[in-house]
Structure 1
């Protein structure tokens, strides 16, 4: 079911999952409210429906969100509806009395009140989890686009990224304008940074815990890093780049002093019960990120702290990280247990997203090329189905890591280790629709494989081909 939702339904599957969950919550609220109203009218105690609804809705919301205080909002909203209906109960609007003496109108009334209370309770409850992609963890500041001030100094690098972008219709700049989200949970966890801790456990000299403040006090760095979704289509829009701020994971590994022979680590999240195993060597260049694009890490992207492991598929970079466990023996991660490749290098791709007709009649196409930590050296474009090829323009690579800890984590290299490059190709179009094919070469000259394959289980691969009709541009 999870594989089907990711590979076939994509974003729609996630939205349908959320709609289904919302309907279940509304049905539960309606049931609780209906019972409270029915019991209150049977015992003829006016306050029972209101208090019963408030208590029931609060208990359901608190249990589902593990946030008892915000759950009071949903309870209050539902209770207000019931109270208003009960106050009007002495009139025909509520239908307590009937001329035929049966209870049909009483039942209809109770159902109506229950439905109204469920609607209000659900709506108010949903406000407790809104802005999941933009809002950050409690007390961490707001990582959303609405922030007026930056939390970290990245202005110079943002300006550099703008210079290393191509302005083509349908194509993102070097820093993505809307970073994709794929999660296993319908509602993103919301941690209070005052209570959040990162536990370091397992085969180590001594287990220990770090608070959010502990991590923020460590030397940090900023990096350009790209993430690509393993379940996206070949030319999909789930590959994005951001500036991430955090602490090198190697700092945590060094303090832990692993004692096991496994050479493997399990990263876990108590927020959504996600977990993924990595080779210990992969953590050497990993990052504990608490910032994104100069702001505090947004809730929807794993606040207060997430893991970023260069060169790996996006889904295994654990969000809402709460534990780093050094293992005695290898174990399967969340996605491996479900048949996916899991931990492993991302596939190389050159996407075709930008298409634009210039005033002089020429057509410009473009996109982003990405090969994980293997890097991109060249992108070629064919206008005849792959018979002949021309070299596309490439932007200069994005800058390497910077900040106090750059030499520890990102290597303090001149260029970003794990970030895409933008490409474009300008040409005089033939008459009518024609096929454009793009392919990429890795930094060492390796040409990406031509054969196309779907997302499951190892991620999409192949040359991207798009049909372009200049008259439509």
Structure 2
């Protein structure tokens, strides 16, 4: 392409740049308006785009995000979805903005100018509203998107009318762009101020609900009393339970409309609603969950007191005829594993004495003892029994985290005490095998000493705390390893999370103060 052609192309495009900038600002405002109206809910216009981003992301990128970025990967994916959604709505608003391209002239009839401006505002609002409704089927979300886009177009009209006839060439365009961008940012900031992150706050389990059942009160009190008094170490019932799923916007399932279906290779299919489950015998269980993507000394491992009904009662009533089961959730997530793993499972609808939070799968989630967190499907809607083995959501992406969890001892806290003493502490977990010992080496693995363990909580699938205090003269390496309830030692070889969970002994270099 010759220099003249490039210059000609630039000359043709340049007059459109202000209109494109205003349209993109209108797109951002449409997204911000939707958020202001509905918050971070499924009706938010970025939700479908976000799901598309997650679905279409290359396997290598997803693996990198899980293993290296953790929750930051989710945030980056959501930011990508926000940007793409803003572009989509910017394109929708562009026809309306294009109507405002011609600056008003002295010989233009005032009525004609008003007609063009009104048409620009209407088109700039209606088209984004139509796109929003097509994406979400939500009238409030569509109204918010329309209001946001219309606000930016109105600002652009106002700036254009305020421009004086003797204003320098191009100044009107600059003012229009600055006004549009400013109003879009302002509306988005307002949405964040009003809605915040719009994530559900979860009450601390250390504060027992006043209406807690006596059994729950007793168990939570026991967990609190048995927790070590180690500075910085989370108690036996986690105060900040990790949250990992395929969503950046969690489903908002109507509790009263929710149903659970048991289908497939069964003698009799069945459907239950929340009232059916609440009428059954309620069980309270301490259960630990660990994400298969958790790093060796990562923080994606936590414990809660869950309350619900046993899976066995529902499976026995259905009469399963297959050896495999697929659990499906309202968010489109599913997982397949041997049905024998599900028999001792729990369908939980309460957590730490309170209704199950939305972020943890309300109204009902599955808990499968001793297995990686990925098969504990949240927002559970279906249990399908199958005669043949198939693949789950993450198996299609190269993960194999449906098996029992690996034994692990986490080194989560190093405290320097008086007199040069050092305290190291953490949690250990081995699924339903339990923890019989945690061993600590302060000389790089030459010698080992058993650490003190917290008294075990009731249950077959619960972690334990450990702590060890010693004196050290200089810089040294601390290594920890666990033995499960069968006496088997934690796998020493270090390996990353993919495909079936991280292994290895945790170590940390400690400098005395």
Query: Is the TM value for this pair above 0.5?
Result: yes
Q: Which residue is 1:14 aligned to?
A: 74
Q: How many residues align?
A: 439
Q: Which residue is 2:247 aligned to?
A: 185
CA distance in structure 1 between the aligned counterparts of 2:212 and 2:388, rounded to whole angstroms: 39
Between 1:58-67 and 1:372-381, the stretch displaced more is 58-67
CA distance in structure 2 between the aligned counterparts of 1:81 and 1:356, rounded to whole angstroms: 54
Q: Is the Cα–Cα contact under 8 Å of residues 364 and 426 in structure 1 kept in the other structure?
A: yes
Q: Which residue is 1:456 aligned to?
A: 498
Q: Which residue is 1:160 aligned to?
A: 222
CA distance in structure 1 between the aligned counterparts of 2:478 and 2:307, rounded to whole angstroms: 37
Superposed counterparts of 1:127-166, under 5 Å: 133-134=199-200, 143-144=202-203, 149=209, 152-153=212-213, 154-166=216-228
- SS across alignment from 2:496: coil
TM-aligned CA deviation for residue 397 of structure 1: 0.7
CA change 1:364–1:208 in 2 (3 A) is same
Query: TM (normalized to structure 2)?
Result: 0.78
Q: Is the Cα–Cα contact under 8 Å of residues 133 and 298 in structure 1 kept in the other structure?
A: no
2:365 is aligned with 1:296: no
CA distance in structure 1 between the aligned counterparts of 2:129 and 2:306, rounded to whole angstroms: 38
CA distance in structure 1 between the aligned counterparts of 2:262 and 2:166, rounded to whole angstroms: 67
Task: Report which of the two has the higher share of helix.
Answer: 2
2:328 is aligned with 1:268: yes
Q: 1:417 aligns with which of 435, 453, 460?
A: 460
- SS across alignment from 2:229: coil
CA distance in structure 2 between the aligned counterparts of 1:130 and 1:168, rounded to whole angstroms: 33
Q: Which runs of 5+ in 1 are unaligned?
A: 136-142, 399-414
CA distance in structure 2 between the aligned counterparts of 1:201 and 1:126, rounded to whole angstroms: 42
CA distance in structure 1 between the aligned counterparts of 2:261 and 2:270, rounded to whole angstroms: 6
Between 1:208-217 and 1:238-247, the stretch displaced more is 208-217
Give CA deviations for 1:146-172 in whole Å, capped at 9, x if unaligned: 999566432322221111212323321
Q: Which residue is 1:72 aligned to?
A: 143
2:409 is aligned with 1:366: no
CA distance in structure 2 between the aligned counterparts of 1:287 and 1:69, rounded to whole angstroms: 37
CA change 1:306–1:53 in 2 (3 A) is farther
Query: Which protein has greater RCO, CA pairs closer than 8 Å, 6+ apart?
Result: 1
Query: TM (normalized to structure 1)?
Result: 0.84
Q: 1:429 aligns with which of 464, 469, 472?
A: 472
Q: Which residue is 1:234 aligned to?
A: 296
Superposed counterparts of 1:71-470, under 5 Å: 71-87=142-158, 89-92=160-163, 111-112=177-178, 115-116=181-182, 118-119=184-185, 133-134=199-200, 143-144=202-203, 149=209, 152-153=212-213, 154-258=216-320, 260=321, 262-271=322-331, 273-398=332-457, 415-431=458-474, 433-470=475-512
TM-aligned CA deviation for residue 340 of structure 1: 0.8
Give CA deviations for 1:305-360 in whole Å, capped at 9, x if unaligned: 21111111112211121211111321100111111113100000011111112223
- SS across alignment from 2:337: strand
Q: Which residue is 2:83 aligned to?
A: 23
2:113 is aligned with 1:47: no
- SS across alignment from 2:302: strand
